[in-house]
Structure formats: structure tokens, C-alpha cells
Structure 1
Amino acid sequence: MDFSLSEEQTAIQELARQIFSDAVSDESLRAVDKSEAVFDTALWKQLAEANLLGIAVDEAQDGMGMGLLELCLLLEEQGRHLAPVPLVPALAQAGLAIARFGSDAQKRALLPGLVAGDHWLTAALQEGTQPAEAPGTTAARKGAGVVLNGVKSTVAAADGARAIVVSARREDGTPGLFVLDPTSGGVALEPRRATHHAHVATLRLADAAAEPLGAGTGDALAFTLARARVATCAVMLGVTAEALRRTAEYVGSRKQFGKPIGTFQGVALRTADAYIDVECIRSTLWQAIYQLDSGAPTAGRAVALAKWWACRAGQRVVHSAQHLHGGIGSDVEYPIHRFFLWAKAHETELGGASHHLALLGDALASGAAA
């Protein structure tokens, strides 16, 4: 079987790599850190002009009509370059959910503008230590509409977003997704900077008016969480692959006792272990994408396994990168620490290693496919 990328997929990967390489540098990242802008809006427009923001949006909404695999190729390159744009929340969380479950009116109102780069979307799926599968935020009928009550933590790029897709528990106890206008009454945003310097916010909802995503039927939350977790794994793959590349380059040029430190057995073994970890992240990521796209009954387990590898192995790789850079790795003017911060921030996104190991254990113990 041939698992290599198609010409079209390779072209997408190369285009994304070129745009990020030209637009993102260590110097530009320092400038973004000091800026009050929510993210790099100039880069956002460049991605829109290349139609990469529409990579997983149907052609009817001006997108490219491609799938999760192509989106993950874009996200891997984002992670490799640490590009400061909200691709995961806008495209993989809110965008995919609206494209799959949104009403025609919701799609027309939100997706063409996203593709054009005129606005961005985000999602509020996390509530501190509460499992993302069981939101504590509630959705209750009020008159002809729905109101939301609760608190969402770490909502990326919330300030200025056109809409926020919010997970909440319906009155019958089942979870669902709702579309929220962040400028409406009952919505309070408390902005802050995340570990990796990204702009995030705590979202407080007090009888905030919202509308169900589409007909409000089907397991929209499970669909969205699975793809959002895979998207996070793709970012982690890019982060760890580039951290390892830079580390290999450093230990190959840094000399001690008259020879490159990479020739010492301890250093060589640590970099070799990191290479194995990166390839395990890659393999489990592509397996999860394949199973989701093919509708395999074991897709849930594949996603949990991919996320576990991205969390656990990802941390090993960036820890090794920091360690093998020695003292210079502790200098915040030197860029290697950024990969550690990005990996740390994405490790706990929608559940960390322990959470996904527990999901795997539950599935195995029950004999369930997913």
C-alpha cells in the first residue's frame, strides 16, 4: 500500500511551509510577544490569500473542500514554525463543527468570512479540570431561544472573534454545541496570556443568549473533540520535529573536549530516543486521521492513543531539547525555549496524557471498539 502524500497534498504542505518560513522568524515572534494584537493578523491575511484558511471548508462556502489530513498538514507546519495564528480553534474546532453540523444560515454567516480572512472564529470547549466530554456549562430554553450559564477556561483568540462555538449540557443531560455572539449580553471575557504567550481568555456566561449549532441533534461534541485533539497532535508533531532538528544541529556543531558533543554516547542516545518519539507521534497521528476519515469503529481509541503519544512523547522531546542545549537553552533570548512552551501549552489541550490513557483503559476494559 502507498501511504505517500498526493501531489496536491504535497503542494499544500510546501505552500504552508513557504508562507510560514517567510513570515515567521525568531525576531518576528519577539515582536508579536510585545504586541497587544491578539495574533499576527498580517500572516492571517496571507493564509487567506493562499486559500489555506478554507482548506477544510466546502467549496459552497468558498473553501477548498478538502479534509482533515490536509488541514493537519497545515497545522504541522504551523507547529514547526510556531506561527502565532489561531488555526486550531478557528479551523479545527469551530470551523469543522460549523461545516459539519451548522445550519445553512450559520454556514453562510460564518464560513465565507473565515475563508476570506475577514474574521476569525474560536471555540470554548474546556472548563479547567472538567473532562471536555462532560461540560458543566448548561444550556436552557428561555422563550424561543437558549441561554448559557457557566465558565469556560482558556478560550483562544476570544477577544475580537466573530463567534464562539460553546459546549454545554442540555436540559436532558446530553452535551451539545451552541453558537455564541461574544458581544451579546451576559458574556464576560477575562483576557490573559497563556504559557506560550498566546492571547486567551476566561469566558463567563450568565444567561447569555445563544443558538444551537444546526438542528442541535447528533453527537456534535464528540465529533468536534476527536478532530480538535487530532489537530493538536498535528501541531505537536511540528513543534517536536523542529525542536529535534534544531537540537541535532546544535549538538553537531557545539564542541567540547575537541569534538562535537553529539558524538558522545549519552547525547547520541538521547537524540535517538527523541527521534523515535517524534516518529511515534507521526505514526499515531496519521493512523487517527485515517480511522476518522474512514469511519472506523476503533477511531476513538486511535485518537486517544495519538493524543497520549503527543502529550507524553512530546514532553520528552522538548525536555531533551532544553537539556541538550545546556545553559543557552535557559536563555529566553535563544529560541529553543519557545518549543518547550508550545509543547507544554498543547499538552493539556482538551485533556492530557493521563486523561487519554484513562479513555483507552475504559475502552479496553469494556471491550468497546471506541
Structure 2
Amino acid sequence: MEFSLTEDQLAIKDLSAQVLADLSTDERLKALQEKGEVYDKDLWQQFADSGLLGMAVPESYGGSGFGLVEICLMLEEQGRYVAPLPLLPSLALAGLALAEYGSEEQKTQYLTALATGESILTAALAEEGLSNPHKTVLNAEKNGDQYILNGTRVCVPYAKESAVVLVPATQEDGKTVIFLVTPGTEGVELEYQESTNGEPLYTMTLSNVSLSQAQVLAGADKGEEAYKFMVDRGNVCHAATQVGIAEEALKRTVEYTTERKQFGKSIAQFQGTTLRCADAYMDIEGMRSTYWQAVWKLSENMPAEPEVRAAKYWACVAGGRVVHTAQHLHGGIGADIDYPLHRYFLWAKRNELNLGGGSLQLAKLGALLADKESVVNVL
């Protein structure tokens, strides 16, 4: 396993950090929230103008031709600044899948617009009441040259703002097909949902939505593979974001405890504070090592399900411990919504629940290690 980064990768990480440091300040985040802005449009365009949105887009479609590693480096920095941007759904969930499975026409239409910042992309993977995102209840019925879709998806990020949504559905024979659904298509209804961290989510209801073969991303022969492709990369990208969130939460906590005085000295000098921060540091390093192992294996097209499960488990459990420590050591001010720390707790909780929480990941990992059927009910 190779952990070292190339010069290009380091440059991508540094550029992402520079753009975010300039435009995603605590004051700006508060102002955007007060205005009710669902994402930072100026920052999104700055990412496009800097070439960052096209990092994982093939060169023939206006990008730089990089991949998952570079996306994860950007997402770590996004987590560090809790910047409201649709990077993960656009680049990781939809962009990589389109680059891997899309037709020439689909790639030209959507990836080129993504690289320039003209379009946001997303995918509908979550379902109400199901702990397993691979299990779908959205149905696709073949009717001549058309597909008729019926069903509901919940918690679809940026659905209303996106040019297209990647939607998995199940045929009568039980096989999965991935469709490209435009939000404005007849029969598609979107209902806004509140999220913990302010990310715009929507319930997406499809009622007799008619789609042509041109709107199929992956047919029955490749559908389940494409679905797993999206979920695996989504999980490690949530883990990458969680590392950035946790690192910055700990950094701010160390700074605060150094300045905060009690009984005549800073609380950072108390053993209890020191031990909590040390435990948080070790949790972050565990998160980092597990997720990079998963990223490396996926980038090399190697089987990586145990590594992906382990990475997401650590992101859920260890990430939660770190932000709880940050809140605790800040005392009452940590829970004040006028103080920036609360954003890190809310973002961490959102990442934890996306695509299955720690209990599901651990149960799945246990089933894999026991060489048993991996369909596990943890409800």
C-alpha cells in the first residue's frame, strides 16, 4: 500500500485549502446560513475556475483525468472548513460513475458541464426505513423501448439544484438498472427535507416516469456493479470528509483549552483534558489509515469491501468520539450556535448516518470475515 502523495496530488490539496481558507470563513458561513443559501455559489464557481471540479473528469471532457484519491484530498479540506458545497454528490457519487459507465453522449453532456461549474450532479441512494442502501424498492418496468419508474427515494442531496440524478431501480427479474433522471421530468416530484448540517435534501417521488434507453447509465448486466461502485466510493468519501472535520474540531479544541483558564491556569494543563485530546488524535489517525487503505484498493481496482466497511465504521464511531470530545471540552460555548464549533458536530453526525452508520458497517464486516451471507438485518 502506497501512502505518499505525488507532487500533483499535493498541489491539488494545497489549492483546495487555499481557496477554502480565502472564501469559507466562519463569518461567511454564518452569513450564508442567515440568507438561507443552500450552498455557496461563489465558492463553487471558484472551484470550477481553479480547475478543481474537473480533477476527476477525463481530459477529453474538459477535466484533468485524475480520480478518487484527488477527490478525497479535496473532501478532507472541505471537511476542515465545513464548506457548503455539493462536491461529494457531484464528483464522487455521480461524476465517477458517469466517467466509468456513461456513454459518450452522457459524458459529453454532464461531465463537461460539471468541470466548468455549470452543472451539479447527484445520486439517489438512501431509502426510508432501510439500513442497507443496496436494497432498493424503486421499481422499473420495461414497456417496449421505454422504462416506467415508480417509487420514492429519500434524502437525495441537491436534487432540485442538480442537472441530473443517478437513480437505481429494480426490474421485475430483480436486477438493478441505473437511470439518469432530470428533476424537471414529468412525474418527478421533489419535497424539501431538513438536514442536521443544512445540506439540501429532498424526497424524490417518481410516478409513472417514462425514460428512454438513452437515459440508462448502467443496464441490468452492469447495474448492481455500478450501484456498488457508487456506494463504495461514497462511503470512503464520507470517511475522507470526516477526517477533515475531526482534525479541525480537535485543532480548535486544543487552541480553546490552551486559552481557557480555570483555577488560575489553562485547562489544557489538566490531565483529563490532555488525555481526551490524545485519544481524539489516535482516533483521527485510525480513521485516516483505514480510509486510505480503502481508497488505495479502490483506485487500483482491487476487491475492497472489507476495507470500505472498516473505513466507514471508523469514520462513524471514531469521528463521533472526536466531535463529542470537542463539544465536551468547550463546555457550554460549544453548544452555542453563534459559535462555529457546532457545525463540526452536525456535519460529523450527517456523515455518520449517510449510507449506513457504524452498526451496519460492523455487522457487514463481521459477516464478511465470517464468510457468511452479507445481507445483515441490524434494525
**Is the pair's TM-score, using the shorter chain for normalization, greater than 0.5?**
yes
Runs of 4+ more than 6 Å apart: none
Tell me the SS of whatever aligns to 1:52.
coil
Q: Distance in 2 between matches of 1:309 and 1:341?
A: 17
Is residue 2:285 matched to residue 1:279?
Answer: yes
Quick check: 2:139–2:169 contact (8 Å CA) kept in 1?
A: yes
Match of 2:338 among 329, 333, 336: 333
Is residue 2:233 matched to residue 1:230?
Answer: no
Deviation for aligned residue 1:216: 4.8
Alignment of 1:16-35 (within 5 A): 16-35=16-35
Q: Distance in 1 between matches of 2:219 and 2:67?
A: 23
- Residue 138 of structure 2 aligns to which amino acid in structure 1? T
1:190 maps to what in 2? 191
Q: Distance in 2 between matches of 1:305 and 1:261?
A: 34
Match of 1:289 among 295, 298, 318: 295
TM-score w.r.t. the length of structure 1 is 0.96
Match of 2:355 among 346, 350, 357: 350
1:254 maps to what in 2? 260
Please report the RMSD computed on the Cα atoms of aligned residues, expressed in angstroms: 1.6
Q: Distance in 2 between matches of 1:258 and 1:272?
A: 23
Tell me the SS of whatever aligns to 1:53.
coil
Render the CA deviation track for 1:186-222: whole Å, top value 9, x for unaligned. Answer: 1000013311112111111111233221455321101
Render the CA deviation track for 1:294-345: whole Å, top value 9, x for unaligned. Answer: 2333x00000000000000011000000000011112110000100000011
Match of 2:221 among 217, 221, 244: 217
Q: Distance in 1 between matches of 2:28 and 2:53?
A: 21
Deviation for aligned residue 1:160: 2.6
Deviation for aligned residue 1:42: 0.8
Render the CA deviation track for 1:33-88: whole Å, top value 9, x for unaligned. Answer: 12343311111110001111111111111111001111100010000001101111
- Range 152-161 or range 276-285, more displaced: 152-161
Tell me the SS of whatever aligns to 2:22.
helix
TM-score w.r.t. the length of structure 2 is 0.94
Tell me the SS of whatever aligns to 1:345.
helix
Quick check: 2:177–2:219 contact (8 Å CA) kept in 1?
A: no
Alignment of 1:1-370 (within 5 A): 3-130=3-130, 131-210=132-211, 211-218=215-222, 219-297=225-303, 299-366=304-371
Tell me the SS of whatever aligns to 2:355.
coil
Gaps of 5+ in 2: 375-379
Deviation for aligned residue 1:142: 2.3
Render the CA deviation track for 1:72-122: whole Å, top value 9, x for unaligned. Answer: 000100000011011111110011111111111111111100110011111
Quick check: 1:78–1:238 contact (8 Å CA) kept in 2?
A: yes
- Range 14-23 or range 175-184, more displaced: 175-184
Render the CA deviation track for 1:228-273: whole Å, top value 9, x for unaligned. Answer: 1111111111100100110011111111111110111111111110
Quick check: 1:103–1:214 contact (8 Å CA) kept in 2?
A: no
- Range 92-101 or range 29-38, more displaced: 29-38
Quick check: 1:49–1:116 contact (8 Å CA) kept in 2?
A: yes
- Residue 278 of structure 1 aligns to which amino acid in structure 2? I
Q: Distance in 2 between matches of 1:278 and 1:198?
A: 24
Deviation for aligned residue 1:148: 1.6
- Residue 134 of structure 1 aligns to which amino acid in structure 2? K
Deviation for aligned residue 1:2: 6.1
Quick check: 2:128–2:154 contact (8 Å CA) kept in 1?
A: yes
Q: Distance in 2 between matches of 1:3 and 1:140?
A: 46
Q: Distance in 2 between matches of 1:2 and 1:101?
A: 27
Deviation for aligned residue 1:367: 6.5
Percentage identity across paired residues of the two chains = 46
Q: Distance in 1 between matches of 2:159 and 2:360?
A: 25
Tell me the SS of whatever aligns to 2:370.
helix
Gaps of 5+ in 1: none
Aligned length: 369
Residues 127 and 2 (structure 1), Cα distance of their counterparts in 2 relative to 1, 3 Å cut: closer
Quick check: 1:136–1:169 contact (8 Å CA) kept in 2?
A: yes
Deviation for aligned residue 1:368: 8.9
